[in-house]
């Protein structure tokens, strides 16, 4: 899917802030609380998902203000679910909130408000009232609140997955994307039993992607095991094992990724260390067991890989990327198959 892109990067620094303000015009007034002498390099990518909208914005620090006068001039009243990499301050006529980094929150464009933040990358889901009429009272009740509970954090993970995968999807995927967004918003903001059932596939796929990410991030840690994953993700062993069934189990998946990492390091002729040292750094202390597992996985020995790398050779079957699954398509298929994005 191709987003609509607005960028100030190609403009002279003196014109960048004015251009960004013109893009926000009639929705927000943009104030720059910091020194703007270095310009205002910013970019917005916006995907139209039927009635819904999804945006990825990267910009310097600013204060976006939606005044009562702005609301009257442009009476759009979408709800917006936002999540940023850094803290955000939100002011409304009746309250002030400090939104922690990586935590989603809900506001309504039907209200006057101000959002202040430092340089940040932010994701926004735009939810029109007509499209979410069935849960409108609950979304109104949740506006100007921080979604800190488990399902709220899961919605933030879902939005980050969506940002990564939308550029890879085709227009024909749109109905499944919008279905996934609706299901996740309904389940995470209004978690009734029926909505949880509808969103089961999306919730499982989002959790699975988070498990994969945590494993990859800790692939060198000797503490990486099922117990560590359960503690870090606040899930039970039963949930973990069920989610990892399609990967052949937790230990199998960890071993596979560690073998992949060993292979990549052995293929890097500039990387120092013996085969044994590289293997030990990824948890394979027994050299003979490592060699057997490596050969079963790739059809060649670690030594053959290392020799080929040092000789400047390659082996196509061994250098293909293995993605470990593409989580968004898992989300969109509602758990019907192993595909992902």
Output the six-digit token pair for 281. Answer: 């750094």
Q: Are residue 279 and residue 182 in the same domain, yes or no?
A: no
pLDDT, position 56: 93
Confidence tier at 86 by pLDDT (50, 70, 90): very high
Choosing from 137, 164, 198, the residue where a domain stops is: 198
Q: How far is CA 325 from CA 21, 128, 232, 269, 278, in A?
A: 40, 32, 21, 28, 26
Which domain covers residue 236, as residue numbers? 200-341
Q: Are residue 45 and residue 133 in the same domain, yes or no?
A: yes
Q: Are residue 99 and residue 210 in the same domain, yes or no?
A: no
Alpha carbons 44 and 209: distance in angstroms, whole number: 25
Choosing from 181, 198, 215, the residue where a domain stops is: 198
User: How many independent structural domains does the chain possess?
Assistant: 2
- Tell me the per-residue pLDDT of 152-201, one tens digit each, with 9 for 90 and over: 788 888 899 899 889 988 889 898 888 888 888 888 887 667 766 666 77
Nearest in space to 65 (alpha carbons), one of 32, 95, 31: 31
Q: Are residue 19 and residue 155 in the same domain, yes or no?
A: yes
Q: Are residue 242 and residue 163 in the same domain, yes or no?
A: no
Q: Are residue 265 and residue 336 in the same domain, yes or no?
A: yes
User: If you average pLDDT over residues 247-252, what whole number do you get?
Assistant: 87
Confidence tier at 82 by pLDDT (50, 70, 90): very high
User: If you average pLDDT over residues 118-132, what whole number do you get?
Assistant: 90
- pLDDT of 336 above 80: no
Q: Are residue 168 and residue 23 in the same domain, yes or no?
A: yes
Q: What is the CATH number of the domain that holds 280?
A: 1.10.10.60
Q: Are residue 175 and residue 297 in the same domain, yes or no?
A: no
Residues 6+ apart with CB under 8 A from 52: 125, 126, 127, 128, 131, 178, 181
Global pTM reads 0.67
Q: Indicate the helix (H) or strand (E) that contains 97.
A: strand 95-99
pLDDT, position 332: 29
Find the range with the poorest average confidence among 144-158, 190-204, 244-258.
Answer: 190-204
Q: Please report how the helices 250-267 and 226-233 are oriented relative to each other, as an axis angle in degrees rounded to 10.
A: 100
Confidence tier at 94 by pLDDT (50, 70, 90): confident
Choosing from 145, 164, 198, the residue where a domain stops is: 198
Residues 6+ apart with CB under 8 A from 289: none
Q: Are residue 176 and residue 54 in the same domain, yes or no?
A: yes
6 burial via Cβ count (<10 Å: 0-12, 13-18, 19+) = middle
Q: Are residue 210 and residue 337 in the same domain, yes or no?
A: yes
Q: What is the CATH number of the domain that holds 35?
A: 2.60.120.10
């Amino acid at each position: 899917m191709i987003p609509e892109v607005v960028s100030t990067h190609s403009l002279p620094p003196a014109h960048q802030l004015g251009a960004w303000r013109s893009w926000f015009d009639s929705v927000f007034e943009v104030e720059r609380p910091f020194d703007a002498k270095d310009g205002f390099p910013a970019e917005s990518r916006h995907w139209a998902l039927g009635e819904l909208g999804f945006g990825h914005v990267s910009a310097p620090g600013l204060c976006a203000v939606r005044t009562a006068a702005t609301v009257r001039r442009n009476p759009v009243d979408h709800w917006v679910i936002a999540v940023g990499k850094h803290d955000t301050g939100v002011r409304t006529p009746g309250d002030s909130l400090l939104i922690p980094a990586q935590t989603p929150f809900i506001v309504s464009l039907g209200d006057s408000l101000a959002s202040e933040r430092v340089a940040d990358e932010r994701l926004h889901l735009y939810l029109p009232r007509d499209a979410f009429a069935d849960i409108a009272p609950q979304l109104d009740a949740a506006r100007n609140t921080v979604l800190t509970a488990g399902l709220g954090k899961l919605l933030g993970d879902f939005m980050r997955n969506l940002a990564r995968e939308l550029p890879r999807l085709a227009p024909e995927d749109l109905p499944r994307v919008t279905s996934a967004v609706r299901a996740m918003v309904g389940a995470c903001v209004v978690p009734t039993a029926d909505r949880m059932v509808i969103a089961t596939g999306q919730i499982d796929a989002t959790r699975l992607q988070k498990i994969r990410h945590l494993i990859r991030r800790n692939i060198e840690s000797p503490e990486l095991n099922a117990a560590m994953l359960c503690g870090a993700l606040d899930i039970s062993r039963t949930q973990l094992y069920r989610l990892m069934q399609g990967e052949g189990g937790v230990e199998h998946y960890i071993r596979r990724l560690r073998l992949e990492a060993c292979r990549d390091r052995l293929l890097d002729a500039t990387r120092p260390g013996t085969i044994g040292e590289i293997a030990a750094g990824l948890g394979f202390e027994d050299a003979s067991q490592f060699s057997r597992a490596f050969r079963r996985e790739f059809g060649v020995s670690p030594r053959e890989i290392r020799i080929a790398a040092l000789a400047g050779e390659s082996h196509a079957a061994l250098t293909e990327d293995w993605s470990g699954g593409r989580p968004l398509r898992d989300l969109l298929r509602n758990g019907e198959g192993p595909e992902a994005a």
